[in-house]
């Protein structure tokens, strides 16, 4: 069995625009991998099986797609060891799929090159191609057009998954965005994001990135009050992150916020 870490991500910014011709929304997003990670193990088998997370569909889908693309049977056994909270906006499922895809591709007699692997990943989910790459990325279009970003990483990340908050489906979150005509002003917000990235020399400069267009949380205000230089919801939520320059402040924030839900301290990677 081969193994690979499947890291979580946070959206340091998520600017959403109007519908595209393909029905998806135009987005500009800043994606940052963090150290919190699942572990994926994969080996050859007589038939495809995925264990460790009984509700998996995305790992199964990506491996079936890989097998179909190269004309073989999906003969792999996968073990998923979960650490990333499920349906939180942290991309755990997409990251698991990307890790399994890389491991299975390595076992092929003629592995797919990176460009073809990324194209296949994009058919499974918008975040999956990001997890095939290292470092922070700027995602454009439907989120799968990726450009590497040299962002500062000298900060600590506090993640808060609020208890008692029922995760709305991504489709529902986007429907609410459409109902309030959230796409208005997209170009201006995208320009604001580009300007913030151009001037991001030190970690606190990330505070100038625009807020998440899809959703917000009062926990972001709590994190800012506790010393975070930036706090926002990641993806479609409900997980909220806060960025701290000092580990002691991050530790204090974790202690103070545990009454609101599950809390982790992690770091960009």
Task: Tell me how far apart the alpha carbons of residues 188 and 245 are, in angstroms, rounded to a whole number.
Answer: 29
Query: Please, which residues have CB within 8 angstroms of residue 184's CB and are 6 or more apart in sequence?
Result: none
Which of 254, 35, 7 shows the shortest CA–CA distance to 153?
A: 35
Task: Tell me how far apart the alpha carbons of residues 98 and 114 are, in angstroms, rounded to a whole number.
Answer: 12
Dihedral sign of CA atoms 86, 175, 166, 238 in order: positive
What is the C-alpha R_g of the chain? 19
Report the 10 Å Cβ neighbour count for 79: 16
DSSP state of 123: T
Task: Tell me how far apart the alpha carbons of residues 132 and 137 are, in angstroms, rounded to a whole number.
Answer: 11
The residues annotated with a catalytic role in the active site are 9, 127
Task: Tell me how far apart the alpha carbons of residues 98 and 262 are, in angstroms, rounded to a whole number.
Answer: 26
């Amino acid at each position: 069995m081969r193994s690979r870490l499947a890291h979580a991500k946070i959206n340091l910014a998520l600017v959403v625009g109007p519908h595209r011709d393909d029905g998806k929304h135009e987005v500009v997003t800043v994606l940052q991998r963090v150290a919190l990670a699942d572990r994926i193990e994969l080996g050859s088998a007589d038939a495809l099986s995925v264990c460790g997370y009984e509700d998996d569909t995305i790992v199964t889908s990506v491996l079936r797609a890989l097998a179909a693309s190269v004309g073989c049977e999906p003969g792999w056994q996968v073990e998923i060891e979960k650490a990333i909270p499920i349906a939180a906006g942290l991309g755990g499922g997409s990251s698991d799929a990307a890790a399994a895809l890389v491991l299975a591709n390595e076992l092929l007699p003629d592995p797919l090159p990176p460009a073809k692997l990324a194209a296949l990943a994009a058919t499974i989910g918008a975040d999956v191609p990001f997890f095939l790459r290292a470092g922070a990325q700027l995602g454009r279009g439907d989120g799968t057009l990726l450009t590497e970003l040299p962002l500062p990483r000298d900060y600590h990340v506090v993640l808060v998954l609020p208890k008692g908050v029922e995760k709305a489906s991504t489709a529902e979150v986007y429907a609410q965005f459409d109902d309030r005509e959230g796409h208005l002003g997209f170009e201006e917000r995208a320009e604001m994001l580009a300007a913030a990235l151009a001037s991001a020399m030190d970690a606190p400069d990330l505070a100038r990135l625009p807020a998440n267009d899809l959703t917000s949380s009062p926990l972001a205000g709590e994190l800012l009050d506790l010393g975070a230089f930036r706090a926002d919801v990641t993806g479609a939520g409900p997980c909220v992150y806060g960025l701290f320059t000092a580990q002691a402040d991050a530790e204090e924030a974790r202690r103070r916020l545990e009454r609101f839900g599950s809390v982790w301290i992690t770091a960009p990677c």
